[in-house]
Structure 1
Amino acid sequence: MSYTIEKREKGYLLFTITRSEKRNAINYEVMEGLREAVNRAADSDIKALIITGEGSQAFCSGGDLSVFHLLHTKEEAYPMLSMMANILYSLLTLPIPTIALINGTAIGGGCEIAAACDFRLARKGIKAGFVQGKQAITTGWGGGSILAEKLSAASAMKLLMEAELQTAEDLKNAGFFNALFENDSLQACEVFIDKMVTKDVSVLQSYKKVWTRKWEETKLRERIEEEVRNCSLLWESDAHHNYVKTFMRKKTMDKE
């Protein structure tokens, strides 16, 4: 399995991507696992959902190009992009607190997953970034539209358009990371959510509706759909295909 889902004593659900050998890159199995976690987190006895990655090297390195490089045209790319965007919108609007526990590097789609969570906790010293621009595409899972809801326009545009890895400290200053930790990641996260999970779940759900109502009224789902379609157009460009070919060639050389 590429993931685990565990219910913890404190009343939260823990979803872990277990592909450390692939820097916890997203494949179709991880997508289905994340969908399952979101569905299970809707149970009445779950008060929070925590998403993390196995090991200490990577939280999530985005989409697994060794899988998705087989997608060439916009017609081939769109179903994958749309499926993950739907999952992330469900994560975004889950009626309980959600936390991205960023234990290592977060790249591209990994940052989109983090953006869809209510809170982002990161290990000091790690780097993260919306690097899709270097691949000649944009965020394609809704991350750009979601980021625009979470940060100021200038901060969000800078992160997306520069497409560079940033330090955890810079991302905290930008407002993307809510807190930084040094030692045991899960312990740090439990301390962060401790006061929340002691509250009645109906209170948590009522407060979360403040934001989900806003996103419904501003048609965020429709804006995400437009982002997905724009990314699928860029996906079939020569510039993106050339990036993927270079990436795959480098991976082959590294194995030799």
Structure 2
Amino acid sequence: MAYTIEKREMGYLLFTIARSEKRNAINYEVMQGLTEAIKLANETDIKALVITGIGDHAFCSGGDLSVFHRLETKEDAYQMLSKMGNILYSLLTLPKPTLALMNGIALGGGCELAAACDFRLARTGIKAGFVHGKQAITTGWGGGSIVAEKFAASKAMKLLMDAELHTAEYLTEIGFIDGLFAYDSLLACETYLANLLSNDPRVLQSYKKVWIRKWEEAKLSERIEEEVNNCAVLWEGDVHIGHVKKFLSKKTMNKD
């Protein structure tokens, strides 16, 4: 199983990507799992949704190129990008608090997943970055539009355009990460959420809907769709395809 879903005693749902051998990269099974988790999180007895990755090395390393490398045309790429873009928009607009528990490195789409959550906690010493530009593509799951909506323009723009990995400490300074922890990730998560989860769920939902209404009025869904289209065009470019082939070649050599 590529993921697990667990209802925790405090009343939140814990979704864990369980692909340690792939640094918790997202494939179609994980996409299905996220869809299932978001649906379950809508149930009345669930107060919040927490997303993490198994182990302590990776939160999520983005899309699994060993699966998605087969998508060479913009039409094929669009199908995958649009599917994940819709999932992240559903996560963003879930009328419950959401938290990305970044227990390890977050790369590319992993940062998009984290950005779609309301809060981000990270282990000290990890790195994270929107590294898409190094592969000659942009964010394609809506992460760029989400970051542009949530954070100061200059900070958001530099995060995306630099395409670099940054330390958790730096990302905390600029507001992308809300808190750091050193040891037990679930303990840190539950400590962070304790006061929030002690309130009536209807209060939490009412506050979350303030932001959902804001994002709807800002036509964020339409902007994400445009982002998906732009990435699909770049996806079929020779430069990106070359980067993917180089990546897969390195993986094959490492296995040998």
Please indicate, yes or no, whether the TM-score normalized by the shorter chain is above 0.5.
yes
2:58 matched residue in structure 1: 58
Q: How does 1:15-94 map to 2 (within 5 A)?
A: 15-94=15-94
- Identity level (%): 71
Q: How many residues align?
A: 256
Listed as ranges, the gaps of 5+ residues in structure 2 are none
Counterpart in the other structure of 2:211? 211
Shift of 1:174: 1.0
Aligned partner of 2:221 in structure 1 is: 221
Aligned residue in 1 for 2:168: 168
1:201 aligns with 2:201: yes
Structure 1 residues without counterparts, runs of 5 or longer: none
Q: Is structure 2 residue 93 aligned with structure 1 residue 97?
A: no
Supply the distance in 2 between the matched residues of 1:13 and 1:99 (Cα, whole angstroms): 10
* Aligned position for 1:11: 11
1:52 aligned counterpart, secondary structure = strand
TM-score (norm 1): 1.00
Report the equivalent of 1:145: 145
Equivalent position of 1:253 in the other structure: 253
Q: For residue 5 of structure 1, report the CA deviation from its aligned partner.
A: 0.2
Runs of 4+ in 1 over 6 A off after TM superposition: none
Q: Structure 2: how far apart are the matches of 1:130 and 1:36?
A: 26
Alignment of structure 1 residues 101-140 onto 2, 5 Å? 101-140=101-140
Q: Deviations over 1:35-93 (max 9, x none)?
A: 00000000001001000000000000000000000000001100100000000000000
- C-alpha deviation, 1:97, in angstroms: 0.5
Report the aligned-residue RMSD. 0.4
Amino acid at match of 1:16: T
Letter of the 1:134 counterpart? K
Is the partner of 1:44 in helix, strand or coil?
Answer: coil
